[in-house]
């Protein structure tokens, strides 16, 4: 069994705001092993970015309240001091952000920014740090890195900036790479390059990856295990095959059915999930997805626990519906009947 | 008779005709603001849009699809070429002459946060176009706003609210409501769903579909998401560095791409099915899109193309007709049988060996493109 790097137990993140307490992350648990990719999917506001930023210690603030544990190699990151956290950040956990345009400093050269990141964590001289920077840029596929290291961010294209961000995140050889929507701002052709790069680097650097996205297509390519989040909670969790081929949560069906897919005949109409995601200040009683769920019934007013109902080990969901009923009914949502017709 | 003429002749008079449109942006430098270079944002693009159809425009960022959209509604003036809307050449109309035409063509923008004035109420946002065009009395306008808000799935009670009170999806509905206020014929939608979550995105695509059926709208749908474009479009034009490289009926583009760029673009789209994703051959394009300031010679795609040969570096391939309204510009077309290939080659030999053979008969001036000349009717059979 591979080394278990990260263990998140019943993590809660709440923010006090003028309007009330926002329960951004509401009791989520997962584990991560070396060499694996964990995909987190969900819509905006489902708490996936807050989860990632909490792992990095970036949500600490006067209005934030945390509960639960984030165990990194056995040490609870929620308990360490801010200064201690700085040693974990970068050294042990690296992060790539969504927008490569705003996460690089426009007035410093790319190389300088990576050198600075290296020297912040390791006691090396400038020349060594620079040599490593150039090597990193080469590894992430920047052509002519000796010269391009002296470019400013605006001289890089979107894809190259994201590559530079990845180089910076990897500069101190972290064990876990957290990528928060790393390809969302990029074109499909560049997205394909970056996805390939991340999965190659994961093997080269022998690290684990948390890959956050709203794009189920990208997840299907890169993830080993998948977490589906809704309104701050995990609503389904399982291996990639479980989630794609035996999805148990009507929300997951809805997500799968909403995508106009190239691998299937064009449906007359796309499936839609009616309504909008609920407020995180006053979430609905019981199952959070109940107001939008076409299959909701009386029992859904009670909160379903996240547990194994299918029998496949490791496949958990939060849905009261009968497993066989779900297997019979989900296809009309996922493929809009087009498969039946074909 | 050229490829494009044939394509446009299958229907009646097209609603919109774009002929050899170019839009260059000058780059100026120095004290005298001398023009030192040009961004070739849209470079000789021709197509037609029939009434009631949806034409999808896809391409990577920087390929000129948004510039083309803005040029069509004349938010930008074309550097060269003609935009013919309902039989009138509007390419160089001044603001005042454009104004009555703005009732016929409207635009929906990408970012629902930036395209609504935060200080105006929804009612004002949607009724302003009617005020500008003096349509109806105050009370009629108000009633009409209520109707439109209902059509797009909002409620008339939203009249007095501000944009910040709405979610992204609802704001995009307001944007659509505003574009419908004048009962236009043509709507240019520039990435209308790319800022939205998938579940909201599918609501919006269904809404656009319903509106098209109810109000007989014609769409030019600009997007970078090939799945979304296939879902809404009847025909699709693929753009690369300012040029249309392939134009085809929607389903055919996906089953039988001719241009290697289209093939690569399709193979890069992630498929939400792990087994298929694993089996599928993936063409990863190396590098980025070249600069539109100094586009590559010959075929603009050749530096990234895996089939490229010497001819691609030297000669720009013409947009040729492969039958069934499927046009592509490539020296090494894919998925084409021998007979079609021969027919296309014969057709090309009769036209001047030129950068672009898609000249229209009435365009004999050849102002900026010496290659443009009347072409003989070669493939009527």
pLDDT digits (tens, 9 = 90+) for B111-160: 888 889 999 999 999 999 999 999 889 999 999 999 999 989 888 889 99
Question: pTM (2 decimals)?
Answer: 0.84
| Whether the predicted pLDDT of B258 surpasses 70 | yes
Take residue A40 and report the two structure tokens written for it.
Answer: 């987190």
pLDDT digits (tens, 9 = 90+) for B269-299: 888 999 988 888 888 887 778 888 899 999 9
Query: What is the span of the domain harbouring residue A267?
Result: 229-341
Residue recorded with tokens 């299958």: B10
Instruction: Average the pLDDT over B369-377 and give the result.
Output: 41
Task: Answer yes or no: do B282 and A191 touch at CB < 8 A.
Answer: no
| Whether the predicted pLDDT of B352 surpasses 70 | no
Grade residue B371 by pLDDT with cuts at 50, 70 and 90: very low
Q: Cα separation of B373 and A238, whole Å?
A: 63
What local confidence, expressed as pLDDT, does residue A267 receive?
A: 85
Grade residue B351 by pLDDT with cuts at 50, 70 and 90: low
Task: Answer yes or no: do A220 and B285 touch at CB < 8 A.
Answer: no
State whether A163 and A57 are in the same domain: yes
Instruction: Average the pLDDT over B236-265 and give the result.
Output: 94
Instruction: Report yes or no: B242 and B84 within 8 Å, Cβ to Cβ.
Output: no
Closest CA to A46 of A285, A279, A248: A279
What local confidence, expressed as pLDDT, does residue B239 receive?
A: 95
State whether A79 and A154 are in the same domain: yes
Cα of A192 to nearest chain B Cα, Å: 6
Quote the DSSP letter at residue B18.
E
Residue A91 sits in a domain whose CATH number is 3.40.50.300
Residue from the list B199, B203, B270 with its beta carbon closest to the beta carbon of A255: B199
Take residue A107 and report the two structure tokens written for it.
Answer: 């007035």
- Helix runs in B153-272, H state only: 168-180, 198-215, 226-232, 250-255, 260-268
What local confidence, expressed as pLDDT, does residue A342 receive?
A: 34
Quote the DSSP letter at residue B22.
E
| Domain endpoint, select from A206, A223, A240 | A223
What local confidence, expressed as pLDDT, does residue B370 receive?
A: 40
Chain B residues with CB under 8 Å of A241 CB are 274
Residue from the list A196, A240, A260 with its beta carbon closest to the beta carbon of B227: A260
State whether A121 and A186 are in the same domain: yes
State whether A212 and A262 are in the same domain: no
Closest CA to A88 of A178, A197, A212: A178
Say how many CA atoms lie within 13 Å of A112 toward its Cβ.
10
Q: For residue B222, what are the contacts with CB-CB under 8 A and spacing of at least 6?
A: B56, B57, B65, B66, B68, B69, B188, B189, B190, B191
Chain B residues whose C-beta is within 8 A of a chain A C-beta are 60-61, 167-169, 197-203, 205-206, 209, 224-228, 230-231, 250-251, 254, 264-266, 268-274, 276-277, 282, 284-285, 287-289
State whether A174 and A36 are in the same domain: yes
Q: Cα separation of B304 and A54, whole Å?
A: 41
What local confidence, expressed as pLDDT, does residue B174 receive?
A: 93
Task: Answer yes or no: do B197 and A43 touch at CB < 8 A.
Answer: yes
State whether A233 and A197 are in the same domain: no
Grade residue B360 by pLDDT with cuts at 50, 70 and 90: very low
| Whether the predicted pLDDT of B1 surpasses 70 | no
- Helix runs in A154-299, H state only: 158-170, 188-204, 216-222, 240-245, 250-258
What are the structural domains of chain B?
3-104+186-349 (3.40.50.300), 113-183 (no CATH)
Q: For residue A237, what are the contacts with CB-CB under 8 A and spacing of at least 6?
A: A30, A225, A226, A227, A228, A306, A314, A315, A316, A317
State whether A47 and A10 are in the same domain: yes
Average pLDDT, chain B: 85
| Domain endpoint, select from A195, A223, A251 | A223
| Whether the predicted pLDDT of B12 surpasses 80 | no
Chain B residues with CB under 8 Å of A271 CB are 202
State whether A206 and A237 are in the same domain: no
State whether A167 and A302 are in the same domain: no
| Domain endpoint, select from A223, A243, A277 | A223
Pairing of the two strands A316-317 and A4-17:
unpaired
Instruction: Average the pLDDT over B322-345 and give the result.
Output: 88
State whether A46 and A163 are in the same domain: yes
Q: Cα separation of A335 and A254, whole Å?
A: 10
Cα of A57 to nearest chain B Cα, Å: 27
Q: Minimum mean pLDDT among A250-264, A266-280, B7-21, B57-71: which range?
A: B7-21
Other Cβ atoms closer than 10 A to A228: 27
Nearest CA in chain A to B278: A221
Nearest CA in chain A to B279: A221
Average pLDDT of each block of 10 consecutive residues along chain A (342 residues)? Answer: 87 92 93 94 89 92 93 93 90 86 89 93 92 92 90 88 90 91 84 88 91 91 94 94 94 91 85 86 91 92 92 92 91 66 36
Chain B residues with CB under 8 Å of A276 CB are 167, 169, 200
What local confidence, expressed as pLDDT, does residue A1 receive?
A: 57
SS (H, E, C) A87-156: HHECCCEEEECCCCCCCCCCCCCHHHHHHHHHHHHCCCCHHHHHHHHHHHHHHCCCCCHHHHCCCCHHHC
Tell me whether 0.90 is exceeded by the ipTM: no
Task: Answer yes or no: do A214 and B273 touch at CB < 8 A.
Answer: no
What local confidence, expressed as pLDDT, does residue B281 receive?
A: 81
Q: Cα separation of B115 and B112, whole Å?
A: 5
Q: Cα separation of A267 and A168, whole Å?
A: 43
How far are the Cα atoms of A156, A178, B232, B333 from residue B208, in angstroms, in the given order? 36, 37, 9, 34
- In total, how many domains does chain A have? 2
Task: Answer yes or no: do B227 and A214 touch at CB < 8 A.
Answer: no
Task: Answer yes or no: do A216 and B272 touch at CB < 8 A.
Answer: yes
Q: Cα separation of A46 and A32, whole Å?
A: 20
Q: Cα separation of A312 and B78, whole Å?
A: 61
Please report, rounded to a whole number, the percentage of residues in chain B having pLDDT higher than 70. 88
Instruction: Report yes or no: A214 and A184 within 8 Å, Cβ to Cβ.
Output: yes
Task: Answer yes or no: do A270 and B202 touch at CB < 8 A.
Answer: yes
Instruction: Average the pLDDT over B240-259 and give the result.
Output: 94
Q: Under DSSP, is residue B362 helix (H, G, I), strand (E, B) or coil?
A: coil
State whether A86 and A129 are in the same domain: yes
Instruction: Average the pLDDT over B323-337 and give the result.
Output: 91
| Whether the predicted pLDDT of B367 surpasses 50 | no
CA A211 to chain centre: 4
State whether A157 and A244 are in the same domain: no
Q: Cα separation of B126 and B141, whole Å?
A: 9
pLDDT digits (tens, 9 = 90+) for B179-231: 999 999 999 999 898 888 888 889 889 999 999 999 999 999 999 889 999 99
Q: What residues form DSSP beta bridges with A238? A: A226
What local confidence, expressed as pLDDT, does residue B349 receive?
A: 67
């Amino acid at each position: 069994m591979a080394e278990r790097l990260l263990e998140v137990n019943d993590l809660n993140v709440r923010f006090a705001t003028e309007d009330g307490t926002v329960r951004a992350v509401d009791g989520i648990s997962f584990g991560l092993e070396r060499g694996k990719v964990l995909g987190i999917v969900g819509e905006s506001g489902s708490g996936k970015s807050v989860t990632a930023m909490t792992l990095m210690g970036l949500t600490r603030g006067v209005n934030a309240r945390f509960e639960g544990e984030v165990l990194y190699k056995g040490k609870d990151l929620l308990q360490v001091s801010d200064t201690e956290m700085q040693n974990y950040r970068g050294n042990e956990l690296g992060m790539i952000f969504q927008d490569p345009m705003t996460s690089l400093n426009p007035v410093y050269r790319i190389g300088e920014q990576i050198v600075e990141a290296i020297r912040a964590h390791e006691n090396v001289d400038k020349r060594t740090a620079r040599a490593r920077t150039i090597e990193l840029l080469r590894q992430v596929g920047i052509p002519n890195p000796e010269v391009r290291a002296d470019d400013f961010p605006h001289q890089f294209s979107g894809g190259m900036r994201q590559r530079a961000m990845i180089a910076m995140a990897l500069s101190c050889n972290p064990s876990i790479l957290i990528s928060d929507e790393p390809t969302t701002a990029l074109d499909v052709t560049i997205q394909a390059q970056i996805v390939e790069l991340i999965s190659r680097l994961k093997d080269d650097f022998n690290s684990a990856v948390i890959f956050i996205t709203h794009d189920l297509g990208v997840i299907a390519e890169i993830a080993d295990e998948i977490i589906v989040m809704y309104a701050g909670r995990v609503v389904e969790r399982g291996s990639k095959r479980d989630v794609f081929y035996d999805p148990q949560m009507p929300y997951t069906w809805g997500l799968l059915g909403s995508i106009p897919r190239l691998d299937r005949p064009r449906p007359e109409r796309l499936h839609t999930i009616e309504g909008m995601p609920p407020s995180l200040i006053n979430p609905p009683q019981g199952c959070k997805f109940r107001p939008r769920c076409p299959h909701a019934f009386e029992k859904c007013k009670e909160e379903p626990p996240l547990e194994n109902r299918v029998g496949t080990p490791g496949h958990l969901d939060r849905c009261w519906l009968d497993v066989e009923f779900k297997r019979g009914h989900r296809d009309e949502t996922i493929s809009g009947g087009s498969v039946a017709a074909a | 008779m050229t490829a494009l003429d044939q394509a446009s002749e299958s229907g009646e008079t097209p609603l919109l005709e774009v002929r050899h449109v170019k839009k260059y942006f000058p780059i100026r430098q120095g004290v005298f603001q001398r023009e030192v270079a040009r961004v070739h944002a849209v470079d000789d693009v021709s197509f037609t849009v029939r009434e009631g159809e949806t034409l999808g425009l896809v391409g990577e960022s920087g390929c000129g699809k948004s510039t083309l959209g803005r040029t069509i509604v004349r938010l930008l003036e074309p550097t060269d070429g003609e935009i013919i809307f309902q039989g009138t050449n509007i390419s160089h109309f001044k603001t005042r002459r454009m104004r009555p035409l703005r009732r016929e063509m409207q635009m929906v923008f990408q970012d629902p946060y930036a395209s609504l004035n935060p200080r105006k109420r929804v009612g004002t946002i949607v009724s302003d176009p009617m005020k500008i065009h003096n349509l109806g009395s105050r009370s009629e306008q108000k009633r009409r706003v209520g109707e439109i808000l209902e059509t797009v799935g909002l409620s008339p009670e939203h009249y007095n609210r501000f944009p910040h009170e709405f979610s992204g999806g609802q704001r995009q509905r307001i944007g659509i409501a505003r574009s419908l206020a004048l009962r236009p014929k043509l709507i240019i939608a520039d990435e209308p769903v790319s800022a939205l979550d998938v579940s909201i995105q599918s609501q919006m695509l269904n809404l656009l579909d319903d509106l098209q059926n109810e109000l007989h709208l014609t769409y030019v749908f600009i997007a970078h998401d090939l799945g979304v474009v296939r879902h809404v479009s009847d025909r699709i034009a693929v753009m690369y560095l300012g040029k249309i490289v392939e134009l085809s009926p929607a389903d055919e583009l996906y089953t039988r791409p001719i241009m290697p760029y289209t093939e690569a673009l399709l193979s890069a789209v992630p498929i939400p099915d792990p087994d298929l994703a694993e089996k599928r051959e993936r063409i990863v394009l190396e590098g980025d899109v070249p600069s539109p300031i100094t586009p590559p010679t010959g075929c603009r795609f050749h530096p990234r193309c895996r089939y490229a040969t010497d001819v691609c570096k030297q000669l720009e391939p013409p947009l040729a007709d492969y039958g069934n309204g499927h046009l592509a510009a490539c020296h090494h077309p894919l998925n084409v049988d021998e007979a079609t290939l021969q027919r296309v080659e014969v057709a090309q030999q009769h036209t001047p060996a030129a950068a672009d053979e898609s000249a229209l008969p009435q365009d004999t001036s050849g102002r900026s493109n010496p290659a443009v000349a009347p072409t003989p009717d070669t493939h009527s059979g």
